[in-house]
Structure 1
Amino acid sequence: MLALSLTLATPALSQDADPQDEPRGRPLDSILEMFVDRTEKAMRGMVDEIEPELNALLEEMGPEMERLMGAIVPELQKLADTVGGLANYEMPEVLPNGDIIIRRKKDAPPLPEGLIDEDESIDL
């Protein structure tokens, strides 16, 4: 990503560069290109070095992560369906007594029909 950013920025930077500021007569875009190339090679070398261990870790953790996500995602979907969408709520607040309050955002759309039991009182 850094390499791409610097590569894209090179033409813009070289247009603004003063020839007197260029070290040892090399154009700025040439220096930046060399920097990007060397940085990319160094990063590729580091990735190549850790790739076997990373792949082994992913293989080991993969089935467990898949199982965990398979259990969590349906429950989160049920929760979202129950409350009319999780994006309509603030982050949970944990009170000193351990109770957790999840406040509905002020700009949230009206609650879906039948979501609230009419027999219960609601503090808004």
Structure 2
Amino acid sequence: MKQIALTATLAFALALPAQADDTKPEEGFGLMEKGARLLFEGLLQEMQPALRDMEGLTEQLEPALRGFVENMGPALGGLLEQVEDFSKYHPPEVLPNGDIILRRKSEAELAEPEGEVDL
């Protein structure tokens, strides 16, 4: 999350002119630049609390996600080895008792349609 905040701040800083010159009249792109700058400043101010909250949330979730990956990683790897090609299966179905079924498609469903296909 820190990377997002840093990237947004860097993009905002690069969009600002290197040296402010208030002596020339603000016309054309000058007004556009000022409007864009005000827009980005407003967005940055509005997003800072949310970014801080998300940073705290990611710090809380990190240990749980690491544990999930450590425990489920080998199991998911084994499943991927057994299934080979997911396009040969229908989407998973959840039964009322909580079981999950992966139904294999029939040969007719796997065969490509004959004739022209409109795109």
Alignment TM-score, normalising by the size of structure 1: 0.47
User: Which one scores higher on RCO, CA 8 angstroms, separation ≥ 6?
Assistant: 2
Alignment TM-score, normalising by the size of structure 2: 0.48
